[in-house]
Amino acid sequence: MIKPCDEHIGNPRVTADHSDDLHRDIHAKYLRAHPEARFVQPTTAETWWCTAQLPDQVYWRSLALHETAHAILGVLVGQELLGLTLVQDRNILVPGGAMIQGSVNAQLAAVGILGGPHAQARWLAEQGYTHPELKRCVIRLGGHSDARQVKAAKAEGLLIDRRRAVKDALRVLGRRRTAAAHLEITERLLADGAVPPAAVSAALERHGVRKPKGVWIPSAEDFARHKERLAARR
């Protein structure tokens, strides 16, 4: 899914042409400061600085957690899950994803959209992959299309607080019951390559996960202030 910044870094099996210019831009500042990093293969978890370098097992589990997070959060905020797939082939440009539809409050939608890459980054950090450049790679590149969706919605004048959306998504996913369902669905996705929407709903029900408690939704006063700010910019 992700191509290394140049021929000297990353897993040589990663050949799909995916946002090369964006990927180079993401790492440009780091590589200017650490040019030797292009030629050195990381040896410990905390020295991995690009998703393209991650070992296959780590890469695919982190990506499965990313897509499953989208699916779970989407269902919990009231959207319809159409499919959840993952093809473990790093030569494929788009190896799967969570297909979701349904109109909900823009802030709730942002929780589901932004939760995926941040859940992936958090799990990697928990496994010892703590390099700040790796987190940047996950959020900026792995979450590029997710961020673009939210940016487009904000450009239309919708009220979205990105920081609150990320915070709420991670809080929901971190709850014991939700985390258990997240793990169960992720394991099935890794094993089968696809999880039917009904199976995702069944797993959530089995673990007693029904509502995204504590998620912030803008009030009438928030909307009024938002309209005033939009009007002032015109």
Angle at 220 between CA 217 and CA 225, to 5 degrees: 100
Task: Please give the pLDDT value at position 110.
Answer: 94
Task: Please list the pLDDT of the chain residue by residue as tens digits (234 residues).
Answer: 323 333 333 333 333 444 577 888 889 999 999 999 988 888 899 999 999 889 999 999 999 999 999 999 999 999 999 999 999 988 777 788 999 998 889 999 999 999 999 999 999 999 999 999 999 999 998 888 888 888 888 888 888 999 999 999 999 999 999 999 999 999 999 999 999 999 999 999 999 998 888 899 888 888 888 788 877 877
Closest CA relative to residue 150, chosen from 140, 138, 158, 141: 158
User: Which pLDDT score, from 0 to 100, does residue 225 have?
Assistant: 85
Under 8 Å between Cβ of 46 and 130: yes
Place of tokens 């790093």: 90
**Looking at residue 78, what is its pLDDT?**
94
DSSP code of residue 36: G
How many C-beta neighbours within 10 Å does residue 182 have?
Answer: 26
For position 213, what pLDDT does the model report?
Answer: 83
Cβ-Cβ contacts under 8 Å for 145 (sequence gap 6 or more): none
Residue 96: its H or E element: strand 96-101
- What global pTM score does this model have? 0.88
If you count them, how many residues does the chain have? 234
Q: How far is CA 192 from CA 14, 17, 166, in A?
A: 22, 26, 29
Q: How many angstroms separate the CA atoms of 64 and 170, rounded?
A: 16
What local confidence, expressed as pLDDT, does residue 167 receive? 97
Both tokens assigned to 48: 């991995």
Predicted pLDDT at 19? 58
Which pLDDT belongs to residue 147? 86
Are the beta carbons of 39 and 7 closer than 8 angstroms? Answer: no
